[in-house]
Amino acid sequence: MMTIMRKSSTTARAAAKEATHERIVAVAARAIRRSGYDGTGVADIMKEAGLTHGAFYAHFESREAMLAEAAARACAESAAAAADVAASVPAGSALAPMLGAYLSRAHAANPELGCPLAALGSETSRQAPEVRRVTTQHIKETVDLLARQSPDWGQSAAHERALVTISAMVGALLLARAVDDPKLSDDLLDTARRYLTPAGH
């Protein structure tokens, strides 16, 4: 009986620790997109997660380890959003709605919930290798998802179009957020969406 109780208690503690870890990562994933890597401090993350600063090292070896997990979470959330759009329409017709969701005013206005490439791209080259590795993998997967929307998927032309498309998407969103002129911001998003959307969609 004691053994069962001990095992149950250990399992409950492990589950609670895992839930706390996930909460920290979720908070950090929003924070890095909102404030950037350099603007995201351990103390602020722990406070927002409702925890003490001292509890941090029970979950992460370093700030860089937390940032790598936060980047992975942000990339996973972005990939899931794109995959949801792709799954909601007939095969091969997802590019137009994906562009519509990505190059939207709502996405531009909510960086903490959106694409980490546009929110963090200019900072990523200065981050730890783990962070860059996560970002590189996300870019590769997004390029592949975009290429799959082309009728000639598997050919080099589809891959090249996907590279241009992701570059234009991220660049337009980044610039739309950077300017203080709402009309210019909208024009950047609308024009990029129009040029990137295949004819007839």
Range of the domain at 174: 2-196
- pLDDT confidence band for 86 (50 / 70 / 90): confident
Buried b (16+ CB within 10 A) or exposed e, 59-71: bbeebeebbbbbb
Cβ of 94: how many Cβ atoms within 10 Å? 20
pLDDT for 54 beyond 90: no
Residue 10 lies in a domain: yes
Residue 201 lies in a domain: no
Q: What is the pTM of this model?
A: 0.85
169-201 confidence digits (pLDDT tens):
999 999 999 999 999 999 999 999 999 998 655
The whole-angstrom separation of Cα 168 and Cα 163 is: 9
| Residue 29 belongs to domain with CATH number | 1.10.357.10
- pLDDT confidence band for 21 (50 / 70 / 90): very high
The whole-angstrom separation of Cα 201 and Cα 187 is: 19
Residue 163 lies in a domain: yes
Residue 14 lies in a domain: yes
The whole-angstrom separation of Cα 10 and Cα 109 is: 43
**Mean pLDDT value across residues 118-145:** 94
Residue 49 lies in a domain: yes
Residue 61 lies in a domain: yes
Buried b (16+ CB within 10 A) or exposed e, 143-156: bebbbbbbeeeeee
Which is higher by pLDDT, 3 or 59? 59
Residue 166 lies in a domain: yes
The whole-angstrom separation of Cα 130 and Cα 71 is: 9
Residue 181 lies in a domain: yes
- pLDDT confidence band for 103 (50 / 70 / 90): very high
The whole-angstrom separation of Cα 164 and Cα 70 is: 27
- pLDDT confidence band for 4 (50 / 70 / 90): low
The tally of domains found in the chain comes to 1
